[in-house]
Structure 1
C-alpha cells in the first residue's frame, strides 16, 4: 500500500537534527567572579585529554575574554538550540581532583555556604597550581617506526649499546642517565637522534630527589595495656568490616593513644592503603614526626612552613600512592590519597582545626564527611573531647572508647583549684600569686626545678577606669577595653593595634584618681621578681 503524497516534506530539517544530536558538555566553575556553573562544548581535539578535575581555559562574556576555571563534570547530552562556546585549552594533562574530592568540595560549598570555586582553590595548594619545583627535562625514547626499517648490524657498537640500554629501561630516560647506562659519551646518542632512531620530548619533572626512607629504629615491641587493647580492637573491627565508623577515644594524657594510632595504621598499610593523621599545628613537632617515621619510614608531612615547591613535591607523591602515611595540620584533610583507608584526628577538641578565612570549615567535620563518603573509619582522640563530639558519642552516633588509666599505672599529676575570693579577703596575700602558689614555687626552686606560669593576658593591667564617673578607656574602632602596657607606657588595643599614651586623668571628667585593674603578663613578671629577687625570670609573649 503506497502512502498518500503530501504537499510538505516530512523529513526533519538539518538544523533540527543537529539540535537533537548529543554533544560532550563540560561544566566549568570559576575560582573567582560569578558563582554559578557554566556549560561549554568540548571540541573533538580536546576530548582525549580533558578529564573532570582538570583546569581549562575558556572564553567568557560578550568580549570572550579568556578565564581559567575547573572542569567539574563531563556529560554527553543534547544541548537543544543552546549555542555553547568551546573550551579553548586544557591546562592540566591529568586530573588534579579525583571524583571523590570533587564531591567533597561540593559538600563543603553547600554545608558552609561558600562558593565552590573558592573551595577548589583552597583544596589545591598554590604550589600545585603553579607547578612549583618543576624544571624542564629532556626525555629520550625509542622511535619504533624508524627502528623497524633500520639494520642494527650496520650501526656502530656504541650506538647499539645505547639502543639496548634505552630499550632495557622500560621508559624514557634523560641524556645523562642514558649515557651513564650505556657507558658512553653524548656523541652516539646525538648521532641516533639525527638518524631519527631516538626522539626527544621536553617535559617538566620535579627538581627534588626522593630521599630514601630512614632505617626503622630498633624500638622494642611495646606491650599494650588493657585499655589500649580494647581501643585497638574496636578500631580494627570497623577496619576489617570495611565500613565507616567514627570512634571517639576518650583517654587521659599519657594513656597511650598515639601507640593505638600507630598499631591501627600498621594494619592499614599492610593492606596497601593510606592513612591521614591530623594533629594541631602546635603538636606537629619533630618528635611527633620522628615517631611516625621510625615506624613507617616514608611519611609525608604537611604544614604551613613548607615552601610551594616542597608542598607540590609531597602532593605529587601522595597522589601517586607512594606515601603510606600523611601527617599534617588541618589542610592535610585534603591530601589526594588514592587508596585512603583511615583518618585519625588527634586532639580533636583543638580550635586550630577551624579555618578562619574563606572558605571557613572545621577539619573534623570535613574529615567526617570524607570518611563517610569513602567508607573508611574515622578515629577521634582527646583527653577533653569537644562538647558536640561528646554528645554524639553519648547519643550513639559515635562509638565511645574510654582509656581512663595511664600506661604502666603511672599516677596523674595533682591539680588544685584555688578560690581567689578567699585569698583576696586576707591581708597576708596581696597580688596575683596566692599563698599555695607561692609555697609551691618556693619548694620547686628549693629542689632545683623550674616553674612555668601560664597567663592568657598580655600587658600590665587589662582595664583602665575612672573611679569617679566610671568611664573606661576603650578602643574607638573595636569597642573593647584598652590594655595598659607599662614598659612602653601606652594603652593598646590587642585587636587593631590602636594605641594612645597612658592616661594620667579621666578623659571624660579629668579626675586624676584613675584606676588600673586586671592582671597581665607584665604585672605577673613584676610580682615574681619582687617575691623571688634572686631567681632568673623570663617573660615569653608576643610583646
Structure 2
C-alpha cells in the first residue's frame, strides 16, 4: 500500500502509542502490522478503526527520521511501509503468511480422492499441519478453498530477534563480605571458595558462564551460596559480541599536514554553524582523507551531535570500525549485512537509545536511527556499491545528501576519483569543492606499467596468468622482505565451461549466464542467484562430449602461486574464502602482522 492510514488510539494504549513503534491494526478483514508515523490531536468526523496492540516497548526509529522515509518513498516510488521494513533489522519484521484449515467437506473429499492425487496430498498435509505455513504452490490451496474443502487464513509470524538474555549472579541486598566469611568459617571447604565469593562481592553482577569458566567448581559454589541466601541468580540482556577487534592501534598523529589543516578548518567552521551543506572532498589516494574524517567526527561529537560514516565495502567497514573505536572508545557502532540478525538488532537498539556517537557501515547504515545527526561522510562516493539494485532501489550517496538536508547535517563526499555527477554539482554551486592534491609527505604516486600479454609468446607467459614482468617484481619484493597483493576481479577457478564443438557454455537455468567452476567444491556455480551443479562432460545443446574449461579466477591464481612459491605464505581473500563470520578480519589482521607474504 502506498498510502498511509488514520487509526484511533484507545485510551489504554495512549501512553505507549509513540512515533516509531509498530502496531497491530485491523485492515479490511485481517490484522496487519504498521508503523506510527504521526500523532494528531482532536476528534475526526469519520469513524476510525482502533489500534489493537502496540508491539514495541520503545520506538524503533526517532521522529526525525520519518521525513526521510517519506522522501525516499515518494522519490523512489516505493511504499513507505515496505521501505521502513527494509530499513529495520530483518528479525524485527513480522512477516504475514497463509495457513489452512480443512473443513468437514474436505475430510469427506479426502476419503474418496485417490491417495496420490495433488488435492489429496495437500488436504492430508493441511490436516496434519494445522497452523503452519501453506507450501507452494498457493494456487492449489485457493482452488481447494473454492470447492469448500479448505479455509485459508492469514497469520503473522512474530518469531524474530530480540535482546540476548544471559544468566547472572549477584550478591543479595544486605549481605556483607566480612560477615559472610565470619558466619561461614567452618563451612568454607574449597580452596578457591573465598576467592569465588570475593569475585562476586566485588562485582555488581557477573555472568554465570564467566564464573564457571574462571572456577572449575563455579556452578557448585553458585548453587551452594544461593541456597544459603547470600547470592541470587537473575537474567538480563547483553549486547552480542562483535568481531570488532582493533587490527592495529592507530594513534592520532601529532600534527596534520598543511592541506589537511586547511580542509579541516573549513569543515569545522561549517559544523559550528549547525546548518546543511555538502562538500566534495577530492583527495588523491594517500592524501590523508581519513584523518580529516576523524577530525570532523571529533568536532561533531564535541558539539553533542552524532556522525554517520558510510563506506562501500563490508571489509572496509570492519577496518574503519577498529580504527575509530581505538580512538573514540565503545560509543561506536558498526552496521552492515555481514552481521547476524541478532547483532544488527543490538547495534540498532544501541543507536536508537542514544548510546552511540558514530555509526560506521555500508549502504544499509544510511537508515541508522541517529536522533541528533550532525555529520554524514560518504567515503569513496563514486563507488557503484552505493546503488541498490533490488528491493527498494535507491542511490545511497544521493540519499545521504537528502538526509543531511532534512536533519540540517553537514555532508562530506570523499573520493580520489569523484563521480561525474558530484563534480558537476561543484561547478554549478550545489556542492563546495575541497581539494587535497598532494600525498602525505609528498610521496610520489606508484609507478604503473601496463603489460600486453597478447604480444608475448607462450614460452614467455607460461600458463598465461602471470607475466614475466610481474613474476620478477614479485620475486624482488619477496626477497626484500616485503609483501605482495594481487588484485583480480574474478573469483572461482575457471571462468567458463565451453563445448569445443558448438562453442556454447554451461549456463545457469535461472539467470542464463555462464556458470563458474570452483575447484574446492568441485562444482559449477552461478554468482548471481547461487544455483550450482556438478561439472558436466556432455554439452546440453549439441550432445557433444568433451567440455573444456577456459579462463581463470582468484582460486586458480592462488593454486598457481603455491606451485611457483611453495615456501611462501599465501592467502586468498574473496567472497568464497570469507563466508564465515570474522574471516575477512582475520585475513587482514594476519597480513598486517606479516604472517602472509602474498594475498590474492
Q: TM-score, normalised by structure 1?
A: 0.69
Residue 269 of structure 1: how far off its partner (Å): 1.8
CA contact (8 A) 1:128 1:315 kept: no
Residue 374 of structure 1: how far off its partner (Å): 1.0
For 2:362 and 2:500, the matched residues in 1 are separated by: 46
Residue 60 (structure 2) aligns with: 96
CA contact (8 A) 1:251 1:382 kept: yes
Please identify the structure whose Cα radius of gyration is greater.
1
1:438 corresponds to 2:468: no
CA contact (8 A) 2:497 2:505 kept: yes
1:503 corresponds to 2:520: no
In 2 relative to 1, CA 504–49 (structure 1 residues): closer, same or farther, beyond 3 Å?
A: closer
1:400 corresponds to 2:433: yes
Alignment of 1:350-369 (within 5 A): 350-369=383-402
Residue 291 (structure 2) aligns with: 259
Which ranges in structure 1 are unaligned for 5 or more consecutive residues? 1-33, 138-157, 159-175, 181-203
For 1:361 and 1:94, the matched residues in 2 are separated by: 28
For 1:52 and 1:492, the matched residues in 2 are separated by: 45
**Aligned to 2:391, what secondary structure does the other structure show?**
coil
In 2 relative to 1, CA 133–452 (structure 1 residues): closer, same or farther, beyond 3 Å?
A: same
Alignment of 1:196-275 (within 5 A): 206-207=237-238, 219=251, 222-275=254-307
Residue 410 (structure 2) aligns with: 377
Residue 519 of structure 1: how far off its partner (Å): 3.2
Which ranges in structure 2 are unaligned for 5 or more consecutive residues? 94-159, 168-173, 175-199, 205-234, 578-600
For 2:506 and 2:240, the matched residues in 1 are separated by: 58
For 1:136 and 1:441, the matched residues in 2 are separated by: 51
Count residues with an aligned counterpart.
Answer: 442
Q: Over residues 355-400 of structure 1, what are the superposed CA-to-partner deviations in whole Å (9 max), with x where a residue is unaligned? A: 4542333332232111010111101112233343333334432222
For 1:206 and 1:131, the matched residues in 2 are separated by: 13
For 1:131 and 1:525, the matched residues in 2 are separated by: 39
Residue 74 (structure 2) aligns with: 110
Residue 102 (structure 2) aligns with: none
Residue 120 (structure 1) aligns with: 84
Residue 42 (structure 1) aligns with: 9
**Aligned to 1:372, what secondary structure does the other structure show?**
helix
Alignment of 1:26-425 (within 5 A): 34-62=1-29, 65-76=30-41, 79-80=44-45, 82-92=46-56, 94-126=58-90, 132-133=162-163, 206-207=237-238, 219=251, 222-284=254-316, 288-303=320-335, 304=337, 306=339, 310-423=343-456
In 2 relative to 1, CA 279–285 (structure 1 residues): closer, same or farther, beyond 3 Å?
A: closer
CA contact (8 A) 1:528 1:537 kept: no
Q: TM-score, normalised by structure 2?
A: 0.63
1:464 corresponds to 2:498: yes
In 2 relative to 1, CA 385–205 (structure 1 residues): closer, same or farther, beyond 3 Å?
A: farther
In 2 relative to 1, CA 505–486 (structure 1 residues): closer, same or farther, beyond 3 Å?
A: farther
CA contact (8 A) 2:317 2:334 kept: no
Residue 351 of structure 1: how far off its partner (Å): 3.7
Q: Over residues 233-257 of structure 1, what are the superposed CA-to-partner deviations in whole Å (9 max), with x where a residue is unaligned? A: 2322322233211111121222111
Residue 208 of structure 1: how far off its partner (Å): 5.0
For 1:298 and 1:55, the matched residues in 2 are separated by: 29
CA contact (8 A) 1:132 1:308 kept: no
